[in-house]
């Protein structure tokens, strides 16, 4: 049993880890780490991974997993990019209408992939890992077939603003991320869909018996996940000013890591957006800090793996001591 107080504790631990890692990196690299350039760089890098992690998180709350988020993001990005670079569209000076259309088309494709996942899992009864593994391979294949492996690049200025612009000094992608995180937090906390997602993750049979429509819950979860991947795609193609089949494939496992670090239970039912945000900031601090120290990015990958194991082992001992306490009390 995890009580509300327990959850509050977890957030406290996460924020302590975050502050600790910030102080550590500052001590290790006092001149460079606190530079505005570095802080701003971190703020530009975080949102992509952040939005993708949100997409992973909502699915993990239902006890599932979505391996197709990166593939979905790429197909959304490629769709937008193909419309934006249509020869008829003239390339450089596009009208606002076409730009908007291309972005909406990208999001629509992402929603479609999410819906396919949802149908496979809810109505056909495929396990989430398998269904999303299948769509991942399929969508990746479509991406390669569509682009023939080439990069589609050269977008108009307004599109490039999404990933590179600043709003009152705050990087615009960060604004996008914060808005999305706020909406997802609101959705999970204050709406029936959110309540049902947590319920389903805790116990799907009792959810069904208490009047939840399980199929609808799964459908909406995977559609939300797809939509979030679509938003991640917009930030991604705009930051790189290009779209390609393999972009961001290394993010997949990091999104799971961020979710697990952020206290989202991989069996479903528990976890909050605030925890995820703390975990993301911590990861970004560590990876930027290590990067400034000229440590190989593969060492960072190894450290991720180690941290993930450490967190799970610590969680195991915390859970066990809590169980012991409960046993003594009762």
Partner 1 sequence: MKRFLKTHEFCVFIVIIILSAAITLINPNFFTLENGLDLFKSYSFMGVLAIGILFVLISGGIDISFAATATIAEYVMAVVCLRFGGNIISALLIASGIGIALGAFNGLLISKFRIPPIIATIATMNLYYGLLIVVTGGKWIYALPDWFRYFADIRIFTLVSKTNTPYGLSVVTLFWIVITAAAYFILRFTMLGREIYALGGDINSAERVGFPVKRLQVFVYSFMGFIAGIAGVIQALLVQTVAPNSIVGKELDVIAAVVLGGASLSGGIGTVGGTILGVVLIAIVKNGMTLVKISAVWSDVVIGVVILISVGFSSWQQKKEQSKSNIDIDGIEVES
Contact residues: partner 1, CB under 8 A? 63, 65, 67, 120, 122, 124-131, 133-142, 144-145, 148-149, 204-205, 208, 213-215, 218, 253, 256-257, 260, 266-267, 296, 298-306, 308-309, 312-313, 316
Distance from C-alpha of 147 to C-alpha of 81, rounded to nearest angstrom: 10
Identify which of residues 110 and 136 has a Cβ nearer to partner 1 in the complex.
136
Site of tokens 């393999």: 246
Distance from C-alpha of 268 to C-alpha of 266, rounded to nearest angstrom: 5
Q: What is Dmax (Cα atoms) for the chain?
A: 74
Structure tokens at 12: 């406290």
Number of alpha helices (DSSP H) and beta strands (DSSP E) in the chain = 14, 4
Distance from C-alpha of 279 to C-alpha of 11, rounded to nearest angstrom: 10
- The minimum distance between CB 67 and partner 1, in angstroms, equals 8
- The minimum distance between CB 176 and partner 1, in angstroms, equals 27
- The minimum distance between CB 148 and partner 1, in angstroms, equals 6
Identify which of residues 90 and 141 has a Cβ nearer to partner 1 in the complex.
141
SS3 288: helix
Identify which of residues 94 and 254 has a Cβ nearer to partner 1 in the complex.
254
With residue 77 as reference, give the H or E element that holds it: helix 69-84
- The minimum distance between CB 248 and partner 1, in angstroms, equals 14
Identify which of residues 148 and 327 has a Cβ nearer to partner 1 in the complex.
148
Identify which of residues 182 and 316 has a Cβ nearer to partner 1 in the complex.
316
- The minimum distance between CB 224 and partner 1, in angstroms, equals 17
**Beta-ladder partners of 170:** 167
- The minimum distance between CB 234 and partner 1, in angstroms, equals 24
Q: Characterise 271 by phi-psi region: left (phi > 0), alpha (psi -120 to 50), beta (else).
A: left
With residue 105 as reference, give the H or E element that holds it: helix 96-119
Query: 97-114 b/e with 16+ CB inside 10 Å = b?
Result: ebbebbbebbbebbbbbb
- The minimum distance between CB 47 and partner 1, in angstroms, equals 22
Within 213-329, residue ranges assigned H as helices are: 214-240, 251-261, 273-292, 297-329
Identify which of residues 91 and 305 has a Cβ nearer to partner 1 in the complex.
305
**Could you tell me if 75 and 110 are in contact, meaning their C-beta atoms sit under 8 angstroms apart?**
yes
- The minimum distance between CB 252 and partner 1, in angstroms, equals 9
Distance from C-alpha of 245 to C-alpha of 233, rounded to nearest angstrom: 12
């Amino acid at each position: 049993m995890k009580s509300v107080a327990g959850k509050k504790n977890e957030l406290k631990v996460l924020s302590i880890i975050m502050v600790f890692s910030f102080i550590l990196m500052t001590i290790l690299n006092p001149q460079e780490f606190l530079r505005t350039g570095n802080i701003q760089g971190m703020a530009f890098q975080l949102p992509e991974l952040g939005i993708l992690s949100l997409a992973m998180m909502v699915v993990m709350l239902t006890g599932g997993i979505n391996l197709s988020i990166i593939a979905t993001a790429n197909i959304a990005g490629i769709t937008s990019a193909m419309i934006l670079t249509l020869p008829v569209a003239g390339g450089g000076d596009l009208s606002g209408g076409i730009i908007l259309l291309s972005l909406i088309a990208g999001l629509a494709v992402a929603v479609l992939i999410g819906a396919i996942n949802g149908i496979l899992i809810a109505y056909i009864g495929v396990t989430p890992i398998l269904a999303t593994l299948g769509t991942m391979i399929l969508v990746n294949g479509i991406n390669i077939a569509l682009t023939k492996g080439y990069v589609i690049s050269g977008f108009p200025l307004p599109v490039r603003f999404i990933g590179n612009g600043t709003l009152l000094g705050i990087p615009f992608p960060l604004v996008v991320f914060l808005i999305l995180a706020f909406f997802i937090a609101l959705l999970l906390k204050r709406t029936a869909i959110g309540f049902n997602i947590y319920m389903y993750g805790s116990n799907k049979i009792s959810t069904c018996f208490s009047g939840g429509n399980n199929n609808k819950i799964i459908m909406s979860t995977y559609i939300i996940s797809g939509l979030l991947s679509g938003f991640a795609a917009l930030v991604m193609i705009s930051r790189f000013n290009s779209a390609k089949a393999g972009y961001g494939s290394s993010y997949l496992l990091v999104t799971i890591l961020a979710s697990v670090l952020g206290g989202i239970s991989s069996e479903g039912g528990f976890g909050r957006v605030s925890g995820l945000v703390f975990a993301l900031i911590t990861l970004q601090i560590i990876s930027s800090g290590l990067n400034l120290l000229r440590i190989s990015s593969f060492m960072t990958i190894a450290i991720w793996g180690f941290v993930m194991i450490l967190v799970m082992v610590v969680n195991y001992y915390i859970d066990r001591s809590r169980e012991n306490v409960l046993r003594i009390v009762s």
